[in-house]
Amino acid sequence: MATVSVHYLRAIVHCNLRKGHSLNQILQGSGITTLELYSDNGRVAGEKITHIVKQSWIRLNDEFMGCTRTACKHGVFELMTKYALNHEKLHGVLEQGIHFYQLFTDDIKMQLTTRSNYAELSIAFDQPQLDIGNFFQEFWLMIWHRFASWVIGRKITLNQVFFPYPKPAHHQELKNAFPCRHNFDQSTMKISFNLHYLELAPIRNQRDLQLFLKDSPADLITIPGEEISYRAKIRTQLIMQPQDILHCPDFEQLAKRFNISSQTLRRKLKTEGTSYGLIKDELRRDIAIEKLSANAGSVDNIARALGFSESRSFTRAFRKWTGYSPSEYRQQHQHNH
């Protein structure tokens, strides 16, 4: 169900193009259409992004995807996880993982530091100008946050994230990836989180690791472990309804389900960089894209299923989300298949 901004798809495609591969080679077997690639406000299904990342790793034989001076051969991340997982606490897992990459490359420097009550994981690219659009820096930071969360079976709630460049156009997507306070134009890229996570014991074993690696990078994109963000909790509440037509309860009812006041829920969503209205829009958008791509029903039926009183309102909303009408989107998707 989850979708990812087309910004990241374009960045991955560009990584392959500048290494001499054709667009047809890059998109082959991914199910990604040119409509998805060139849509200004496009969204791409998470499983399609997973496929194209996997194929890029293999095609380029570079897990850094051409965004560093020297390549990191495919298989290094797997070797690191096997090497690092055998520790009693998350602190040891992360320290060993960082040490492992220090032995393999000078292109990315990483450091785990601890303060009185919080920890910071920082990364620094030796030649960040090779990472056009800062795609891989963000992806690398995301990988380590997701991997650490997977190791302990809990999503690590972030306090702050720091970016060494100005606020980008896709900043809202960054809020989805890192739901916390954002700081731009900083000296270092890093995430900050509560120190107690480092003391937690890994709950994963080598057998779990094989399944994790088989599905990778799916779990690195979708955030494994126990999800505690209110954005995800609300999405789950809305998705798991038994009726065919999407019903969005009023905000006060929703807050009662979480046993908190509406003011508290509103404040928590603001901290995560979102709102109930935005969450509903994102969910409707994702369901609409999924149904139109699968040719599941008429535009009128999809509009009703999403809770729109008339198809014209749905069409206006969909054009705002993607830059296309539902019919144009479906026609283009079918044409590219």
Q: In tens digits, what is the pLDDT along the chain, a chain of 337 residues?
A: 467 788 888 999 999 999 999 999 999 888 888 877 887 777 887 788 888 999 999 999 999 999 999 999 999 999 999 999 989 999 999 999 999 999 999 999 999 999 878 899 999 999 999 998 899 999 999 999 999 999 998 888 888 899 999 999 888 888 878 888 889 999 999 999 999 999 999 998 888 888 888 877 876 765 444 445 788 788 878 876 667 788 899 999 999 998 999 999 999 898 877 899 999 998 898 888 878 877 778 999 999 999 998 999 999 999 988 888 999 888 877 665 5
Q: Return the pLDDT at 336.
A: 58
pTM of the predicted model over 0.75: no
Query: Largest Cα–Cα distance of the chain, in whole Å?
Result: 60
> How far from 262 is each of 233, 237, 251, 257, 271, CA to CA, in Å?
15, 16, 7, 10, 14
Q: Which of 209, 221, 143 is nearest to 176 (CA)?
A: 221
Q: So what's the pLDDT on residue 222?
A: 55
Considering only CA atoms, which of 52, 51, 59, 71 is closest in space to residue 10? 52
Quickly tell me which residue has 């930071």 as its tokens.
141
Instruction: Give the per-residue pLDDT at 228.
Output: 58
Hey, what amino acid is at 74? H
Structural domains in the chain, sorted by start: 3-60 (no CATH), 76-199 (no CATH), 230-335 (1.10.10.60)
Instruction: Say what the pLDDT of residue 240 is.
Output: 67
The predicted structure's pLDDT at residue 130: 93
Is omega for the bond preceding 168 within 30 degrees of 0, making it cis? no
Integer Cα distance of 251 and 263 in angstroms: 10
Specify the pLDDT at position 226. Answer: 41
The whole-angstrom separation of Cα 308 and Cα 294 is 20
